[in-house]
């Protein structure tokens, strides 16, 4: 059994994905909070950059060795701990599950990333209304694409069968982020069904941002 240490931030979508996967696999890990805003961002410190050159979360330290980028971490967990799989058994379905996951990880989440929004406000000079419109546009467009992809899987409980996969590990954090940025996932029937089912699973419940040790109270 490996010794696992997860560096993350309570509200990070990418770290949230990994917490879900670790929970689904039933793995114990130490948690190290990395505050993305305090002091200019703890992810930008030299000590953290030595661990993760991209200065992002999450990082999963495995027996003292780091793995970064959430999907790479999910794939490693799947290879090392195949019980309670994150991907379907059929190769074609595995590829489709990866594809829908990438719609979220590659097409939606980067455009709402803190580094992007800070640039748009701080360098490009966007005001809060412009930034909010940008976020709503890309999140809405992205969730609409995911919803369409899920429609082709009609009849399944989750995206690929009777249990959640990598798709759900990516989708549930994106639903959380969508609400933060003013987009209600309730307008997407398949996404809504999957989110409701996941909300009943302990691993998803434990991974929720508000249940993390570094969670902050809602701002008034």
The pLDDT > 70 percentage for the chain reads: 98
pLDDT higher than threshold 80 for residue 155: no
Within-domain flag for 217: no
CATH number for position 155:
1.20.1050.10
Tell me: the pLDDT tens digits for 2-19? 999 999 999 999 999 999
Instruction: List the domain range (segments joined by +) for residue 8.
Output: 4-84
Within-domain flag for 198: yes
pLDDT higher than threshold 80 for residue 168: yes
Tell me: the pLDDT tens digits for 61-114? 999 999 999 999 999 999 999 999 999 999 999 999 999 999 999 999 999 999
- Average pLDDT, whole number, for the chain? 95
Q: Are residues 54 and 117 in the same domain?
A: no
DSSP for the chain reads ---EEEEE-TT-HHHHHHHHHHHHHT---EEEE--SSGGG-GGGSHHHHHH-TT--S-EEEETTEEEESHHHHHHHHHHH--SS-SS-SSHHHHHHHHHHHHIIIIIIHHHH-HHHHHHHHHTS---HHHHHHHHHHHHHHHHHHHHHHHHTTTT-SBTTBSS--HHHHHHHHHHHHHHHTT--GGG-HHHHHHHHHHTTSHHHHHHSGGGSTT--PPP-
Q: Are residues 128 and 37 in the same domain?
A: no
Mean of pLDDT values over 148-174: 91
Decide if 168 contacts 192 (C-beta within 8 A).
no
Mean of pLDDT values over 196-219: 95
- Picking from 39, 60, 84, the residue at the C-terminal end of a domain is 84
- Picking from 58, 84, 110, the residue at the C-terminal end of a domain is 84
Q: Are residues 127 and 172 in the same domain?
A: yes
pLDDT higher than threshold 60 for residue 220: no
pLDDT higher than threshold 90 for residue 156: no
Within-domain flag for 153: yes
Which pLDDT does position 218 carry in this prediction?
78
Decide if 195 contacts 127 (C-beta within 8 A).
no
Within-domain flag for 211: no
Which pLDDT does position 219 carry in this prediction?
67
Q: Are residues 137 and 62 in the same domain?
A: no
**What total number of domains does the chain contain?**
2
CATH number for position 65:
3.40.30.10
Within-domain flag for 215: no
Q: Which long-range contacts (CB under 8 A, 24 or more apart) does 109-112 make?
A: 109/13, 109/14, 109/174, 109/177, 111/135, 111/138, 111/139, 111/142, 112/13, 112/138, 112/139, 112/177, 112/181
Q: Are residues 78 and 118 in the same domain?
A: no
Q: Are residues 127 and 185 in the same domain?
A: yes
Q: Are residues 97 and 60 in the same domain?
A: no
Model pTM?
A: 0.96
Q: Are residues 163 and 75 in the same domain?
A: no
């Amino acid at each position: 059994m490996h010794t696992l240490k997860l560096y993350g931030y309570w509200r990070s979508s990418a770290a949230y994905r990994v917490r879900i996967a670790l929970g689904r696999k039933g793995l114990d890990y130490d948690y190290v909070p990395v505050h993305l805003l305090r002091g200019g961002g703890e992810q930008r410190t030299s000590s953290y950059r030595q661990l993760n050159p991209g200065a992002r979360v999450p990082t999963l330290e495995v027996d003292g060795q780091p793995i970064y980028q959430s999907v790479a971490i999910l794939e490693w967990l799947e290879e090392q701990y195949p019980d309670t799989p994150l991907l379907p058994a059929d190769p074609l379905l595995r590829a489709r599950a990866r594809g829908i996951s990438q719609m979220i990880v590659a097409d939606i989440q980067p455009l709402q990333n803190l580094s992007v929004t800070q640039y748009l406000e701080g360098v490009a000079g966007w005001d809060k209304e412009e930034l909010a419109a940008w976020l709503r546009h890309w999140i809405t467009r992205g969730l609409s694409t995911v919803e369409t992809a899920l429609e082709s899987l009609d009849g399944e409980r989750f995206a690929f069968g009777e249990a959640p996969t990598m798709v759900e590990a990516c989708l549930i954090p994106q639903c959380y982020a969508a609400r933060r940025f003013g987009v209600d996932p309730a307008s997407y029937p398949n996404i809504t069904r999957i989110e409701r089912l996941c909300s009943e699973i302990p691993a998803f419940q434990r991974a929720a941002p508000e249940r993390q040790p570094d969670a902050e109270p809602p701002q008034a």
